[in-house]
Amino acid sequence: MCGIVGYIGKVNAASVLIGGLKRLEYRGYDSAGIALLDGDRVTVSKASGKVANLSERAHSNWSPELFQKATIGIAHTRWATHGPPTEVNAHPHLDGSGGIALVHNGIIENYRSLRARLEAKGDVFLSETDTEVLAHLIGDCDKGDLFQAVCDALHQVVGTFGIAVISSREPDRIITARRGSPIVIGVGDGETIIASDASAIVAHTQRVIYLDDNDIAIVTADAVDIRDLDNVPVTREIAELEQDAAATEKGGFDHFMLKEIHEQPDSLANAIRGRLDLQLGSSVLAGMGSSQRELAELSRVVMVGCGTSLHAAMVGQYAFEDLADIHAGVQQAAEFRYRNPILGSRDFVIAISQSGETADTLAAVKEAKQKGAFVMSLVNVVGSTIARETGRGVYLHAGPEISVASTKAFTCQVSVLLMMALRLGRGRRYSRDEGLKLAREIQSIPSLVQQVIDKGEMIAEIAAKYLDNEHAFFIGRGPMYPVALEGALKLKEISYIHAEGYHAAELKHGPIALLQEGTPVIAVACEGPAKDKTLGNVEECRARGARILGIVTEGDHEAEDVMDDFISVPRAHPLVATIPAVVALQIFSYHVARLRGCEIDQPRNLAKSVTVE
C-alpha cells in the first residue's frame, strides 16, 4: 500500500527520495509526490500514476540547482482510500500556511469531524483526503515547536498513522511517528533516512531503528531522538538489516514474480535448514518454545491470516489434524475479532503473514492476546509489526518478496506449518518412524520444487492454450482444496481472468451450472486419499464440455487419461505434494498473464501489504 520515504543529510534529497519510492513501487500505489525544503519554503511536486511520472514532473518543476542543494525532503506513494488517485489527492499535503508538509500512511478515522472544526475556523481544503486534515491540524497546533505540534495533533486523532513531517520554520529536522503503520529509520553517516519499509533504506545503510506504536522521533542528519506522545524519552535499539540491496532487484528475470518462483528451492532450503531433527523424527523450531510439555497442553490450533496466507493456513489445518491429532481451525483475520472468538490459554493461535503488517491479522493477534491464548506468528519480514506484537514466532527466511502476487512466501509458510505440525504430532501420537519419514520428505521439498520449475517451458506451452477464456474454475479435495483456491487467486490477480476455486465436491451444488463447452477447469488431482473422488468430479466436468487441465502425480496414467492437458509433479506425501502442486499453478498463472500482456508484478488495484481494514 502507501509508501513513505524521508531524507535528511548531506547529498541531494530528491534523488534519494525518488530512488526510495522506486524501491517501494512493489507495494502497489496509484500516485506519488515529493516535498523538498527550498530555503525558507516548502516546494511540492506530485503526479498521478507511476514514480517515473513524478520524476519527470519534478525535473520540469524544479531547477537543477534546487535538485542539487535541497538536502531534506519527504516523499510518498499513495494507494487511494479517501478520494480517487488524482494529483490533488496525492501526498505530501500542506497545512493552511503552506509551511508544513506531511506524508501519511494509515487512516484518520475522525477526519470528518476534525475537518469540520478546522473549516469552521476558516481553513480551506484542496483535497478529499484524511491526510490533508492532519496536515492542517498540525499547522493549527504549531506555536513554534513542530515536535510539540505533531504530538498535540496526534493526541486528537483516532485511527492509524505512519507519518513524516517537515516545516520551513525548522529546516534541520523531520518529525516522524507511528501508530499501526510501520516506520523504520535508517541511521547513516551524517544522513538519516525514514521509510515505511526497509527496502527503501537498504541501499544506504544496514543500521535501522524500528519505531513502536505511539513513538514519535525528531530526526536530524546526525541524531534520532525518540519519545512517546507525552514527550517522555524512550530507547529503541539499532538493528542490523539482514537483506541486501540486490535481493530487491530483478536479477535478469523479466518479472519479480518469475524471479521469486525460481528462488523457491533456495528460499525453501532457508526455511527448512536447521529445523528438522533427523534423529527424533521431529522439528526444532525455537520460536515455538522449548517445552514439549507446554505444547502438549494445547488443545486447539487456530490459524489466522488473509489471502494467500489464509490458504497456507488451510493446508496447515489438514497437517495439524492429520499429524498432531489436534483440533485445528482457520479464521479469516478480518472476521476474527468482530465475531468475539471463544479462546483460552490452551488455544494455540498462529498469525500467518508474509509482510507482518496486514492490519486485519495484526488486529486478530491483539484480540487473541487479550483473550489469553498462546499466540505466535509465522512471518517473513523480520522486525515487522506482527512479529513484534506476538513476541514469539517463526520467521520464514524466504527473503524479500517484491511481486504483489505471493509465491515463495506461500510455499515457505506451508513448509514451516508442516514442521510445526510434525513437532506437535511427535508430542502426541505420531511415532518416531512416521516422524522420520515425513522429516525426510520435508527435507526434499526444495528438490521437488526444482523439478517443477524445470518444466517451465512445457507449462508455458500449456498456458498458451488457456489465454482466451474469461472464466476458469480450480478444484481440489483435501489439502489440494486450498491449493486450488491459491491457484485461482494467482490466476485472477495477475491475468484478470475471473477464476474461482472450489472444493471439487462443491461444484455440483451450484457452480457447475456455469460450465460450457471449453470452460477451463483446473483440477488438482495429485495422489492421495481423495484423488479418485477428484477424478470422478473431473468426469462430471468433462461430460459438460469443460476443458480440463490436471495437476497430477508423475506416472499416474489413470489421472493423465481423463485430462485434456496435464502438468505432472513429483510423487510425495499428500501434504508435502501441496507445495510442488502450487508451484505448477504459479508458473501456469505467470505464463497466462505474460502471454495476455499483463503487468504481473503490480496488478491493478492491488497492494503488497494491506495496512487498512
Q: Packing angle between helix 408-426 and helix 578-595, nearest 10 degrees?
A: 170
* Nearer residue to ligand F6R within complex by CB, 70 or 375: 375
| Residue tagged active-site, from 22, 259, 490, 608 | 608
Q: How far apart are CA 312 and CA 319, in angstroms?
A: 11
With H, G, I as helix, E, B as strand and everything else as coil, classify residue 149.
Answer: helix
Which position among 2, 151, 306, 526 bears the catalytic label? 2
Of 127, 196, 282, 355, the residue at the interface with ligand F6R (CB under 6 A) is 355
Pick from 2, 94, 201, 405: which binds ligand F6R (CB under 6 A)? Answer: 405
User: Which one of 134-142, 277-285, 289-297, 353-361 is the stretch in contact with ligand F6R (CB under 6 A)?
Assistant: 353-361
Whether 306 is a known active-site residue: answer no
Contacting ligand F6R within 440-499 (CB under 6 A): 489, 493
Is residue 390 part of the contact set for ligand F6R (CB under 6 A)?
no
* Cell reading at 375: 499466540
Cα 236–237–239 angle (5° rounding)?
Answer: 135
Grid cell locating 204: 544506504
Angle between helical axes of 408-426 and 307-324 (0-180°, round to 10): 20
CB of residue 335 vs ligand F6R: minimum separation in angstroms? 14
Q: Which is nearer to ligand F6R, 28 or 570 (CB)?
A: 28
453, 262 in Cβ contact below 8 A? yes
Footprint of ligand F6R on 186-245 (CB under 6 A): none
Among 267, 308, 537, 589, binds ligand F6R (CB under 6 A): 308
The residue among 192 and 267 lying less far from ligand F6R, judged by its C-beta, is 267
**347 pairs with which residues across the strands?**
300
Q: What are the φ and ψ backbone dihedral angles of 492, each rounded to 5 degrees?
A: -65, -40
* Backbone phi, psi, residue 39, to 5°: 60, -120
CB atoms within 10 A of CB 554: 14
Residue nearer to ligand F6R on the CB measure, 33 or 356: 356
Asked if 354 touches ligand F6R (CB under 6 A), the answer is yes
| Chain Cα centroid distance, residue 236 | 25
Q: Is 10 a catalytic residue?
A: no
Asked whether position 406 contacts ligand F6R by CB under 6 A, the answer is yes
Q: How far apart are CA 192 and CA 186, in angstroms?
A: 6
C-beta of 105 vs 355, nearer to ligand F6R: 355
Please report how close the Cβ of residue 207 comes to ligand F6R at its closest, in angstroms: 25
Q: How far is the CB of 396 from ligand F6R (least distance, A)?
A: 10
Of 138-146, 242-250, 347-355, 591-599, which segment contacts ligand F6R by CB under 6 A?
Answer: 347-355
Calpha distance 316→310 (Å, rounded) = 10
In the complex with ligand F6R, the residue whose CB is nearer, 219 or 381, is: 381
Nearer to ligand F6R, 282 or 380 (CB): 380
Is residue 610 involved in binding ligand F6R (CB under 6 A)? yes
Please name which of 494, 605, 607 lies closest in space to residue 3, comparing C-alpha atoms.
607
Among 73, 106, 186, 307, binds ligand F6R (CB under 6 A): 307
**Which one among 55, 358, 537, 553 touches ligand F6R, defined by CB under 6 A?**
358
Among 71, 131, 181, 309, binds ligand F6R (CB under 6 A): 309
Binder among 579, 609, 611, 612 for ligand F6R (CB under 6 A): 609
221 by DSSP, 3-state: which? coil
Going across the sheet that includes 520-524, the strands are 498-503, 471-476, 520-524, 547-553, 565-569
Question: Per the structure block, which three cell numbers stand in for 84?
Answer: 480517487
Cβ atoms < 10 Å from Cβ of 85: 15
> Among residue numbers 46 through 65, which ones bind ligand F6R (CB under 6 A)?
none
Count of residues interacting with ligand F6R (CB under 6 A): 15
202-220 burial string, b = 16+ CB within 10 Å, else e?
bbbbbebbbbbbebbbbbe
CA dist 431 → 165, 194, 301, 441, 502 (Å): 59, 51, 20, 15, 34
Among the listed ranges 101-109, 119-127, 285-293, 351-359, the one in contact with ligand F6R (CB under 6 A) is 351-359
All three cell numbers of 533: 473422488
- Nearest residue to ligand F6R, using CB? 307
Instruction: For residue 25, give the DSSP letter.
Output: G
Say how far apart CA 66 and CA 235 lie, in whole Å: 36
Q: Which of 134, 217, 306, 524 binds ligand F6R (CB under 6 A)?
A: 306
Rounded to a whole number of angstroms, the minimum distance from the CB of residue 380 to ligand F6R is 8
- Please tell me whether residue 64 adopts helix, strand or coil conformation: helix
Q: Which of 31, 267, 331, 353 binds ligand F6R (CB under 6 A)?
A: 353
**Stretches 232-240, 258-266, 301-309, 539-547: which one binds ligand F6R (CB under 6 A)?**
301-309
Stretch that binds ligand F6R, among 139-147, 354-362, 424-432, 449-457 (CB under 6 A): 354-362
Residue 271 CB-density burial (10 A; 0-12 exposed, 13-18 middle, 19+ buried): buried
Stretch near ligand F6R under the rule CB under 6 A, chosen from 11-19, 256-264, 302-310, 575-583: 302-310
Torsion angle (degrees, nearest 10) of CA 104, 109, 112, 117: -80
Active site residues: 2, 608
Binding site for ligand F6R (CB under 6 A): 306-309, 353-355, 358, 361, 405-406, 489, 493, 609-610
